[in-house]
Structure formats: C-alpha cells, structure tokens
Amino acid sequence: MANRLDGKVAAVTGGDQGIGRAIVERLAQEGADVALCYRSNKAGADEVVSVLQKMGRKAAAMQCDVGKVADGQKFIADALAALGRVDILVNNAGLERRADFWDVTETDYDTVLDVNLKAPFFLVQQLLPLLRKASTAEDPARVINVGSIAGIVPMARNSYAYAASKAGLHHLTQILARHLAPDINVNAIAPGAFETRMIEFALQHRAALEAQVPRGTVGQGDDIAGVAIFLASRAGSYVTGTVIPVDGGLSLRNP
C-alpha cells in the first residue's frame, strides 16, 4: 500500500526538535523526502537526518537563521540543490521573548517578528514559482504555517510580540490562501500548550497548566504532526485558508 506522500519533497524550518521534528518524522513516514533547517542545534538536526535516512528517505539539514531573509533564501536554494524540488513548505520555526509589556525592547520585538512572521512571508515568496510548478489540479502544492493559540485568544501573558506575530501569521495564511488558489493550499495549525522548550517555564507548574486544558494534558508533537499530514496529503486537498486549533480545547476556556 502506497504512503500518502510518496514522491513528495518537503522543506521544514526548525525541524531539529519539538513540534518541527515530529512533523519532519511523520512526513518521512508517509513517504516524503525532507530538507530541514536549524538555528543552532546541529546535533539534533544530524540525528533527525539519520533517522530519516534509516527510513529510506532522502534528507538534508542546513544551518539557517530564518529571521534573516538571505539565510532563508539560501536554505531554499540548498534544499533544491539537495532534493531537486519542493512540494510542501512547513513554516515551523518560531521563537518567543517573554517580558512585561513595558519591558519589551525593540530588539526583542524585531527578532520575534522577523522569525515568526517575516520569514514565512519571504520563504513563500521565494518558493512561489516552484510550488506552482509542482501543483496539479487534483493535488495542489502546500504551505503549512505553524501559528499558535496565542494568536487567536489573548492568553499569552508576557508574550506580547509573540502573540502579535502569530495573529499576523494566521491572517497572512488566509490572505495567501485567497490569492494563491487554486495552485497552492495555504493553511495554519495553531498549537495550544505543548511539551516543548518554549513553554518550559509553564511546565514547571504542569498540574496547574493541565487543569486549564479540557483534555487534561499538554499536547505532544505527534498531535500536531497528524494534522500536518492531513493538510499535506490528498485527504486535505480541498482545505485552504484555515487556521486549525490543536489545543485540547484550551481556547474554549475563559482566558
């Protein structure tokens, strides 16, 4: 039985750990070859590449600070050189700078917006001709943005720039979906509380955090990866312009 993504090639930013790694490994399990980039975790990226190669997939990892447009452009160029094409772009890389509103610096604000919002904009712009070339009427090319529940409801205390960047990414997702159809499907996934380094501070009070989640637990990377595979596969070919909360019901509660 064929895998859902046989013959596809994906490029994933921030694919060396956490949610990004889970998405990369599920893409490979479903048949895709994958190029991923990492900011500083070379050991993690090399480990992911080794895992994918043992699955029989082609894989490559490149160091890249996607907050710098030139770095993002080089990542795409290197991905194409290594794997020959890109059918699926996953904008997963993200960062947060926590501070009270009056303590947010211009540098931190710019850094967060550069990685979380500017990078997806310019990566899609660069890949647009190739994504259109890879698209068919039955199976459009895909862009999947990893947003956040913080971009939907105002619950990210001390994460003002982060919340603004993710809300912007959600809206960018919808604008691009409207204007790039029918060639390219553009969707976003909005994770809630997930067991990642980004929320280590909150996981110090895990029981209190999980008490706020109707499902009763924080999420795991594979919970996001499953939704990403649906959006990347033919099962999701008629879905575009959506922002899908994957949060165990967290956004249903009063912030």
Instruction: Return d(Cα 93, Cα 10) in angstroms, integer.
Output: 14
Active-site choice (109, 160, 162, 238): 162
User: What distances in angstroms separate CA 221 from CA 60, 94, 101, 103, 196, one per listed residue?
Assistant: 21, 15, 30, 31, 8
The whole-angstrom distance between residue 229's C-alpha and the CA centroid of its chain comes to: 12
What is the Cα–Cα distance from 64 to 72, expressed in whole angstroms?
7
User: What is the CA 112 to chain-centroid distance, rounded?
Assistant: 15
Q: At how many degrees (to 10) do helices 119-134 and 69-83 cross?
A: 30
Q: How far apart are CA 95 and CA 66, in angstroms?
A: 11
Q: Distance (Å, rounded) from C-alpha 183 to C-alpha 139?
A: 9
162 a catalytic residue: yes
Instruction: List, by residue number, the catalytic residues.
Output: 162
